[in-house]
Structure 1
Amino acid sequence: MIKLSLAAAAAAAFALTACATPALASPEATAAPPPAGDTVQVMVLGTYHFDNPGLDLVNVDADDVLAERRQAELQLVAERLGAFQPTAIAVEKVPRGGSLIDSGFARFTETDLTSDRNEIVQIGYRVAHEQGIDRVYAVDAQDGEVEFFPFDRIRNFAEKTGQMDMVNGMIAQVQAEVLAIADDREATPMYELLAKENDAERTQRMHSDFYYGLLKFADAEEQPGAALNYGWYARNALIFANIAASSQPGDRILVIYGSGHNYWLQHFVESTPGFQFVDPVPYLHGQATASTATNGS
């Protein structure tokens, strides 16, 4: 089930699923309060990669989302997310042609749901199509002024300083998190899998344990752990800047992204004036309605 290499430890430490989901607070406690004036509400839905393209540093073989059961579950997920009443969708694609508009959505038909396993199609395009949304944005960033994910520097430093046992231990911790979910993935409904991916406690724990744990890899001459952290921050800052550039006053934007980005995207939404974070978990569990997003009730 697990495809893991030494360089593999990095983004996945908090991009992949964790163990048990803690008890949910009541919908009243977790739902978004009413927006203030032109506030832009942003729901960040972290996902694993449905088509398992091997792009993450730790990859899990996902079951087939084209199967009849999974299609029914994804339809339920789309209906529940529709209660947020999104006005725009942002997806993990690189903008092309000088525009943030995702040209791929213009070519989308319902037939694509029977052939394309990618979560952009299965969730992002499905929700946009069913909600009558024509604003689907490609907001990813793959190149920047700094290297986004220099994990080789961590590995080289650890080999040079005799700290490979520490690196291997961190990899083993990631693998344990993955196995905790992979063992019962087939029996777990899609909405629950996604709820686990977006559990706030897991997101905080995995970010702190892995990313901030890498800060220990440093000496007077080299700080590769710091370089990886500021590179990952930089990529997510660019992604959020694209989301912000796509927004209009009063928008409700549904962001579909690999869950490894949850921590920083949520941080930027919560910390930027004029934006408000909306937790997707109560929506995934069917505990939120259209009035929840707009009235806080």
Structure 2
Amino acid sequence: MGNPGLDVVNVKADDVTSAHRQAELEAFARDLVAFEPTLIAVESESNEPGFADSGYSRFNAEEDLRVARDETVQIAYRLASEANVERVAGIDVSEGEIRFFPFEDVQAFAKKAGRSAEIDAQVAYFEDKAAAFEEQQSVATVSELLLTVNDPASIESDHRRFYYGMFGFADDQEQPGAPLNYGWYARNAIIFSRLGSVARPGDRVVVVYGAGHAYWLRHFVEETPGFELVELAEYVRK
């Protein structure tokens, strides 16, 4: 919603502070309140005990929802306030023992190998998807848009196309697609481990994160004992 432009392909989001988007966000939040969340995890870094997100302690619904365009405020803080959730955890990590997203190495390999057109085609595919999403904004509600980006089939297809598609950029000297994959896996593994460290038995958790993290975070939830994946579509109406 308040995209800082740091991804390979970025979507231009509507102004979510407009009156009609605020009404739609209220409806979205009401649907999620029915989930009865007890913990909300967001894409911010925290050094506080329990990874407590300091932004929420300063949140003022009347003021912040009128001006902030970030989904952490518009979705996570709004939901926490309306559902009386006391724990909002910033579980993100931006740096680790390895590089988390060395995409430039794949690009450099492709250039040397005369395969830059293949990278360009990958990027173009996601640019087209972004353009289609931007067009969808003119006719769809916030709930419909969020259901679109949380569609399980689309999440899996996009991950396989981009990340697994990078394994093919390799020769007997370099394999830059492998570090791209295990770097992104590593970041999300740490994020999930942080979530696991603050989640308590019986918690009902809402995770508000960038779409690029969805594949691995969903995977960890589905494969880790003690966790159960609940689809957004089970609670949110179009």
Report if TM-score (shorter chain) is over 0.5.
Answer: yes
**Equivalent residue of 1:284, what SS?**
coil
**Equivalent residue of 1:188, what SS?**
coil
Matched, 1:62 2:13: yes
Matched, 1:242 2:194: yes
How many angstroms does 1:97 deviate by?
4.2
Cα–Cα, structure 1 residues 98 and 252, in superposed 2: closer, same or farther, change >3 Å?
A: closer
What root-mean-square deviation, in Å, do the aligned CA atoms of Structure 1 and Structure 2 show? 1.1
Matched, 1:160 2:112: yes
Supply the AA of the counterpart residue of 1:75: E
Mapping for residues 146-225 of structure 1, pairs under 5 Å: 146-225=98-177
More strand by share: 1
Runs of 4+ aligned residues of structure 1 deviating over 3 Å after TM superposition are none
CA contact (8 A) 2:25 2:74 kept: yes
How many angstroms does 1:283 deviate by?
1.5
TM-score for the superposition, normalised by structure 2: 0.97
- Larger RCO (CA within 8 A; separation ≥ 6): 1
TM-score for the superposition, normalised by structure 1: 0.78
State how far apart, in whole Å, the 2-side matches of 1:165 and 1:115 are. Answer: 41
How many angstroms does 1:55 deviate by?
2.0
- Which residue of structure 2 lines up, in the alignment, with residue 15 of structure 1? none
- Which residue of structure 2 lines up, in the alignment, with residue 228 of structure 1? 180
Matched, 1:74 2:25: yes
Mapping for residues 1-297 of structure 1, pairs under 5 Å: 50-97=1-48, 99-110=50-61, 111-285=63-237
Percent same amino acid among aligned pairs?
46
How many angstroms does 1:98 deviate by?
5.5
**Equivalent residue of 2:51, what SS?**
coil
How many angstroms does 1:241 deviate by?
0.4
State how far apart, in whole Å, the 1-side matches of 2:3 and 2:138 are. Answer: 15
State how far apart, in whole Å, the 1-side matches of 2:9 and 2:123 are. Answer: 9
CA offsets 1:184-237 (integer angstroms, 9 cap, x no match): 212210000000000011001111111100000011111100110000000000
Supply the AA of the counterpart residue of 1:241: S
CA contact (8 A) 1:215 1:223 kept: yes
State how far apart, in whole Å, the 2-side matches of 1:103 and 1:172 are. Answer: 38
State how far apart, in whole Å, the 2-side matches of 1:147 and 1:238 are. Answer: 13
State how far apart, in whole Å, the 1-side matches of 2:132 and 2:231 are. Answer: 23
How many angstroms does 1:96 deviate by?
2.6
**Equivalent residue of 2:40, what SS?**
strand
State how far apart, in whole Å, the 2-side matches of 1:200 and 1:106 are. Answer: 33
Supply the AA of the counterpart residue of 2:31: R
How many angstroms does 1:280 deviate by?
0.7
**Equivalent residue of 1:255, what SS?**
strand
CA contact (8 A) 1:194 1:284 kept: no
CA contact (8 A) 1:93 1:140 kept: yes
For structure 2, the 5+ residue unaligned runs are none
Aligned positions, number = 237
How many angstroms does 1:137 deviate by?
0.3
State how far apart, in whole Å, the 1-side matches of 2:137 and 2:54 are. Answer: 33
